[in-house]
A and B are shown apart, each in its own frame.
Chain A
Amino acid sequence: MTARLQRALGGVTRVRGVRGALIVAREDGLVVADALMEDIRGNAVAALAASLTRRIGEAARASGVGTPQFLHLEATGGALLAAAAGDEMLVVAVTEVGVNVGLVRLEMFRAAEAVQ
């Protein structure tokens, strides 16, 4: 299981500009698997991504657009991306500025398929 998840994350982290990727339990923000650069705190990323996804998910559902499948928080120095992996998990990535988001997104959804 762990090796399979690590392989799935490998596809994400191989994209240039990705600083790290994780598989996170959606409900409590716990790290299931990770592939991170040294300067990234996995637990913090997981907790923040799960919390933000939950909060935004409530607003999205209230607005009638249904359940979030992909979230992209763009910041001046990078981005946080999260893709739904079934109902229970998230694939999360932290990137640098100017990364090919389309490619990262694709790899994240591939990883999400591997998780389910």
Chain B
Amino acid sequence: MSERIPVASGLFADTKDGARLIGSRCASCKTPYFPKVEFCRHPECRASKIEDAGFGPDGTIWSCAIQDYPPPPPARFDKPYKPYAMAVVDLTDGLRVLGQIQTDDIRTVKPDTKVTLVIDTLCHDDAGNEVVTWKFRPVAG
């Protein structure tokens, strides 16, 4: 039976309140990190106090692009290749993060659009399992 396999472990989770990216935040200087870090890297921070933090789901597209040509390895995608949209998203909790956009209409994705974090299919592996990653879905309004 096919399974849903995360593309990499420990990066995201589906919670009862929706999808979350799993990272860290420094309790001293409030800097957000994704993925997790052991120590705060902000050069002005005097006392690293790293705590676990979840990020998302609400954000706004800072900028976006379309992957018109198939990306070289190690990127993974199903064949035949279908271009997809990607964005740099500013989450309301202070994290600027990259992700694919979940949409049927990749050409209409625009900067400054509100989005929400989702867990969605990236591709399928050789055994037919669904490989999942985080993406952003445009929301109305």
- Pairing of A with B: no
Chain A interface residues (CB < 8 Å from chain B)? none
Chain B interface residues (CB < 8 Å from chain A)? none
